[in-house]
Amino acid sequence: MTSADRSQTRPRRPSALLIGAALLLVLLVLAGCGSRQPSSYVYNWSIFWDSLLRPSPRIINGLMLTVTIAVISQIIGVILGIIGALGRLAKFRPARYLANVYVWIFRGTPLLVQIMFLYYGLLVTRIYGWPDFTVMGITLGSAIQAGIFALGVNEGAYMTEIVRAGILSVDPGQLEAARSLGMTYPLAMRRIVLPQAARVIVPPLGNEFNNMLKTTSLLFIVAVPELFVTFTQLNGSGSASFHPFELFLACACWFLLLTTIWSIIQAFIERRVGRGFGGERPPGIFDRLFGVRMGRLFNPVPRVSGGR
């Protein structure tokens, strides 16, 4: 058998071996971190279970605020991403330069710095005071407004590159055919190009929203009472004070629940968007959560090399 034939039938290593190795590594790390001296910390597991099974109104409000901030910020990011992508692809030089500068600034500076600048910087210099306003009976404070704006503008810079890659993945002949039929450029983008680009845009968009749910915890720097700040306040005062292990473990479980629910929704959306297209089947729910396809876990498929 020649080397070319051997490369044609190279079997894929079972993913179960990788999972077992990762679990063994975790066990070794936990065993190595064990202390020989007994800890004086007194665990109170009722705090952990109560935070999960019987959450207080403060935890529920923090949870709802986290989801609300993430959704609004992501919507702002998607809108800015579409505008930025069209700007980067535009033939009009000022629009292209403006979009490039926008992406350069907000991808090149830390998000925490942007939050501090947009809230405290604009507030102290009185450039913009972030006045409170009420929407449907809900009052949004200045810190919440600044946090949503900072997260949305930062997300827009990353969504610009994602949307641009999706548009470039569509055959240019599609746009030319639409223009030849008398469609304007915005109409052709809205009805022809963007629907086809959605198949490429949706998977990274879902990952960006997954990250957005966790990034809301950075708003602790401006005292937005989201989920992380709520557990920090519970750890600082009250009957559950100074129980950081139980409280922040519960906080991590709540974030894990949010991202898990979204991963299930994302898998469903990807299957719907990918319907009718050729190629590999979109990842399912188990694939999205654990990165392993059930059919290949114990029955690996031989890898066949293509090309020349």
Residue 303 pairs in a beta bridge with 10
State the CATH number of the domain containing residue 121: 1.10.3720.10
**pLDDT of 304:** 42
Asked whether residue 77 is domain-assigned, the answer is: yes
Asked whether residue 110 is domain-assigned, the answer is: yes
The pLDDT tens digits for 267-277 are 888 888 866 55
Rounded CA-CA distance 211/213 in Å is 5
Q: Are 67 and 258 in contact (CB under 8 A)?
A: yes
Asked whether residue 80 is domain-assigned, the answer is: yes
**Domain count for the chain:** 1
Rounded CA-CA distance 217/66 in Å is 8
Which tokens go with 26?
């975790």
Asked whether residue 171 is domain-assigned, the answer is: yes
Q: Would you give the end-to-end CA distance of the chain in angstroms?
A: 18
Asked whether residue 308 is domain-assigned, the answer is: no
Q: Give the residue ranges of the chain where pLDDT is below 50.
A: 7-9, 11, 13-14, 303-308
Range(s) of the domain holding residue 189: 54-224
Rounded CA-CA distance 226/66 in Å is 5
Q: How far is CA 217 from CA 225, 231, 232, 243, in A?
A: 9, 11, 11, 19
Asked whether residue 218 is domain-assigned, the answer is: yes
**pLDDT of 305:** 39
**pLDDT of 306:** 40
Q: Are 157 and 107 in contact (CB under 8 A)?
A: yes
Q: Are 48 and 251 in contact (CB under 8 A)?
A: no
The pLDDT tens digits for 77-88 are 999 999 999 999
Asked whether residue 83 is domain-assigned, the answer is: yes
